[in-house]
Amino acid sequence: MGDVLRVEHIRADPGRTARGYLDIAELRDGTPARLPVALVNGVQDGPTFYLQSISDGDEMNGLAVIRQILKRLDPGALAGQVIAVPIVNVHAFQAHQAFSPIDGKKMNRCFPGRKDGTSSERIAHRLFQNAVLQADFCVDLHQGGIRPMVDEVRVRVDRRKRIHRACLELARIFGIGYILDSRGPDGQLARCAPDEGIPTIDPELGGCPGWDATSIKKGVTGVENLLKHYGLLKGEPILPEEQFVVDGFLSLLANRGGFVNYRARLYDHLRKGDAVADVTDPFGEVLETLVAPEESIFWSHALRPAVATGECVGTLGKNVRSL
């Protein structure tokens, strides 16, 4: 039988689930702003997983993943513990935007936070000190903003660091099939937690706002893959036969203004010179054809089918390797 799992005043005894809220701020009228937290404490000892979503306030797919995972988890069949925070950036969530309207900051640039910092920095500090540092593994669920894109997992640790291998293995076991292996910006949880010895990944579950059933299903499978592989749940993870890793992106820019007809689809593996998109005039005549400058994967494309000169038509994952 394991120990009590606790995040501030919220506690779960072994074999129990607990749900509650942390008062993390006050609004301009003094109303408390609350942050939801769920704890699932298994009956047997095992690793502790930390899951969070809506670090960016308009990225909803991760929330749907956590809700489904919490419904499926039975603490009586769990060997380990799960800490889940479904809505991290509560201010941005209420405003339907990525950045907090209180301090204008992107939460995933604020970790590990500051006790006396701005609103986002204070929330990040509370979570990092009281929840993240309890974990053996972290999963920070994201979504690709407003651009249609592949479902992917991001490893944000410098490849020269020893913990990079553990983060890449975490991404592989998540099993979504496409991995970006590229050092992230300062303040990302997927960079800060590994600095404390905690392997962390940053899944990007599709693009565009709202809930996408296909991406959510992949996210649920990914989290359950991790829980099975690392011994919290019984069973074997479901992994693709081959997974692909890129280390950055190429931006495909339009040289002419017009309307875009895509000739490639997301996930397509492109050879140098393969056609990606035509830019056409209002009558449908082709003004230019944009091609892949090197071997790559079609990773994301513009939301709207009209572009101006110099506007990004799509991004291509570069330096493709198999895992």
Based on the domain organization, do 153 and 272 belong to the same domain? no
Q: Are 225 and 237 in contact (CB under 8 A)?
A: yes
- Domain for residue 43, yes or no? yes
What local confidence, expressed as pLDDT, does residue 1 receive? 59
Both 22 and 162 in one domain: the answer is: yes
Indicate whether 220 and 258 sit together in one domain. no
| Within-domain flag for 104 | yes
pTM of the model: 0.96
Pairwise CA distance, residues 165 & 161, whole Å: 8
Cα distance between residue 237 and residue 225, in whole Å: 4
User: Can you tell me the distance from the alpha carbon of 233 to that of 256, in angstroms, rounded to the nearest whole number?
Assistant: 54
Task: Report yes or no: 274 and 291 within 8 Å, Cβ to Cβ.
Answer: yes
Peptide linkage before 148 cis (omega within 30 of 0): no
What is the CATH classification number for the domain harbouring 278? Answer: 2.40.50.100
pLDDT at position 206: 87
The Cα-based distances of 14 to 7, 10, 90, 151, 315 in angstroms read 14, 14, 29, 35, 47
Give the pLDDT of residue 120.
96
Q: Are residues 211 and 280 in the same domain?
A: no
User: Is there a single domain that holds both residue 110 and residue 164?
Assistant: yes
Per-state percent for the chain, helix, strand, coil, to nearest 5: 25, 35, 45
Q: Report yes or no on 225 lying in a domain.
A: yes
List beta partners, residue 53: 141
Stretches where the chain sits below pLDDT 70 are 1
What are the pLDDT digits (tens) for 100-159? 999 999 999 999 999 999 999 999 999 999 999 999 999 999 998 778 999 999 999 999
159 and 17 in a common domain: yes
Give domain status of residue 212, yes or no. yes
Ordered strands of the 306-307 beta sheet: 286-291, 275-280, 258-262, 306-307
Q: Is residue 280 in a domain?
A: yes
Let me know whether 140 and 186 are in one domain. Answer: yes
Given 171, 195, 229, which residue is the final one in a domain? 229
Note whether 221 and 276 are same-domain residues. Answer: no
Q: Final residue of a domain: which of 229, 260, 283?
A: 229
The CATH number of residue 66's host domain is: 3.40.630.10
What residue numbers bound the domain in which 288 lies?
248-322
> Of 229, 262, 282, which marks where a domain is finished?
229
Residue 259 lies in a domain: yes
Residues 252 and 111 placed together within one structural domain of the fold: no
C-alpha–C-alpha distance, residues 323 and 314, integer Å: 24
pLDDT of amino acid 146: 78
- Shared domain check, 150 and 104: yes
- How many domains does the chain contain in total? 2
Tell me how far apart the alpha carbons of residues 123 and 117 are, in angstroms, rounded to a whole number: 9
Residues 89, 149, single domain; the answer is: yes
State which amino acid sits at residue 62.
G
Q: Where are the alpha helices (DSSP H) in the chain?
A: 61-72, 90-94, 119-130, 164-174, 189-195, 213-229
Give the pLDDT score at 145: 74
